[in-house]
Structure 1
Amino acid sequence: MTQALAGKYALIVGMANANSIAYGVAKALKEQGVQLAITYQTDRTKDFIAPLLEELEPAIVLKCNVQEEGDLEAVFAQIQKTWGRLDIGVHSIAFALKDDLHGRVVDSSAAGFALAMDVSCHSFIRMAKLAEPLMNNGGTLLTMSYLGAEKVVQNYGVMGPVKAALEASVRYLANELGSKKIRVHAVSPGPIMTRAASGIPEFNALLSQASQHAPMRELVDIDDVGAAAAFLCSEGAKRLTGSTFYVDGGMNIIA
């Protein structure tokens, strides 16, 4: 099998377990010949992903909590030391306090809103800044969004405005980094039962709605997202940047 991305180096941030979208992306990239750097948030997270690390054989494995000062910088310093460059960066993390996620946006606290924005949005901007000097020959930066950024999704709470900010950031980063051949995209999957999704009230109803009302009448999975991500990192997508790339069976076109 031809490995279209052989010789490329990728950083994957946000793998929590075998249901993680980040795992689907990592698998797809490895299948295309990409060497991986993978981060984990806590020691407990590392225990969950230990079998996945054996499978993926990453060259770099580091702890990284984007809320901890210096953690993200240390990851990029190790990438510089080990590889001297980076071709792909995948950001698949999001967080909001339970009260802000489950409650009304109008009731969200300033501190909670700022926390959700920092972890879910600004950390991607920080990743882009750190990746820029390592992408001398261009590269691709991907982050994960959701339809709640564009339309009101019941029980998505404060993450709706935060993901909208993330998608807007993608467009601005694409514009600012485009002259260096660094492409930036948000990937917007349909509902997938990940650890993060389990915190959304009545998430099963979203799954049911997607399977019944999406034009393709079926749910997407992490492998679908991985295949789309691999395409966005390939030569076939070299003239694409700044998009929100939907992998949702067409659910985004339904009123």
Structure 2
Amino acid sequence: MSDSTLPLAGKKGLIVGVANDRSIAWGCARAARDQGADLVLSCLNEKAVRYVAPLAEQVDAPLHTCDVEKAGDLEALVARAAEHLGRIDFVVHSIAWAPLEDLHGQVIDSSSTGFARAMEVSCHSFATLAKLCAPHMSAGGSMVTMSYLGADEAVPHYGLMGPVKAALESLVRYMAMELGPRGIRVHAVSPGPILTRAASGIAAFDELMESAIRKAPLGRLVTLEEIAQLSTFLCSDASSGMTGQTIYVDGGCHAVA
């Protein structure tokens, strides 16, 4: 990891939301470490630790629990990350959640409480994370979150998460405007459907994946590695002239009707 030619050599990163070895956050962590970064990882709670701790060991990263709905958890995570790393050069935010009873129903039937919780966990937590991390990014850096095509189009069965992800993509643009003068770039990565723990909560997800394969010009689903490579590019100096974008890695689904 001492090879100075690696794209993320010397970079320090916080990756939030590792759930297991199929999660996008884990793909990003593995790719970032392979590219030379030093990392701190988080998972939801102690129950998740037994799945994530072996992964954290693989990338030589401290692991902390963080439930963004618990007061003080994000603050404690960022403080520990900054203490361990010395500074923060990039942040990957890969968490999303909605109550199943709201996610599986019509958007017009969603409860105000469920909608608000989905928005807090999946969207506003990125703004809070940015506020906490920015003071530790004095040399600038990059912040990346995860979206989906359902933010821009009405996708069957995606339900409540569509409006929430639309808000997240708007948040990215405003954060880019506000943090740009500090040299901090902000992006949303919009992957095609991939079978993660979070995705398993979406009704008829198999149908969604089959539809993506039929629609995609590449004729296939994207891989965890492809999502991670785009994310780590956005965390590297190679993307220094870019900010405020939602960038698709979905086999071209977004480009065709």
* Superposition TM-score, scaled by structure 2 size: 0.97
Equivalent residues in 2 for 1:35-54, closer than 5 Å: 35-54=38-57
- Report the 3-state secondary structure (helix = DSSP H, G, I; strand = E; otherwise coil) of the residue aligned with 1:81: helix
1:120 to 109, 122, 131: 122
SS, match of residue 23 in structure 1: helix
SS of match in other structure, 2:41:
strand
For 2:246 and 2:214, locate their aligned partners in 1 and report how far apart those are by CA, in whole Å: 23
1-structure distance, mates of 2:151, 2:122? 12
Identity of aligned residues (%): 52
TM-score, normalised relative to structure 1? 0.97
Runs of 4+ in 1 over 3 A off after TM superposition: none
Amino acid paired to 1:192: I
Look up the SS of the partner of 1:37 in the other structure: strand
Letter in 2 for 1:143: T
Q: CA RMSD in A?
A: 1.0
Q: Which residue is 2:18 aligned to? A: 15
Given that 2:11 and 2:36 are in contact with CA atoms closer than 8 Å, whether structure 1 keeps it comes out as yes
Residues matched between the structures, number: 254
DSSP-derived class of the 1:90 partner: strand
Secondary structure of the residue that 1:3 maps to in structure 2? coil
Among 189, 206, 218, the residue aligned to 1:204? 206
8 A Cα contact 2:15 2:41, kept in partner: yes
State the Cα distance separating 1:182 from its structure 2 match. Answer: 0.2
Cα deviation, residue 84, structure 1: 2.6
Deviation at 1:57, TM superposition (A): 1.1
Return the alpha-carbon distance in structure 1 between the equivalents of residues 243 and 106 of structure 2: 33
- Residue 134 of structure 2 is matched in structure 1 by 132
Residue-by-residue CA offset, 1:105-140 (whole Å, 9 max, x unaligned): 111101000000000000000000001101100010
Matched, 1:141 2:120: no
Which deviates further from its counterpart, 75-84 or 16-25?
Answer: 75-84
- Give 2:30's match in structure 1, choosing from 27, 30, 40: 27
Give the structure 1 partner of residue 82 of structure 2: 80
Q: How far did residue 53 of structure 1 move? A: 1.6
Distance 1:236 1:88 in 2: 13
In 2, Cα distance between the equivalents of 1:187 and 1:79? 23
Match of 2:173 in 1: 171
Query: How far has the Cα of 1:75 moved from its partner?
Result: 1.0
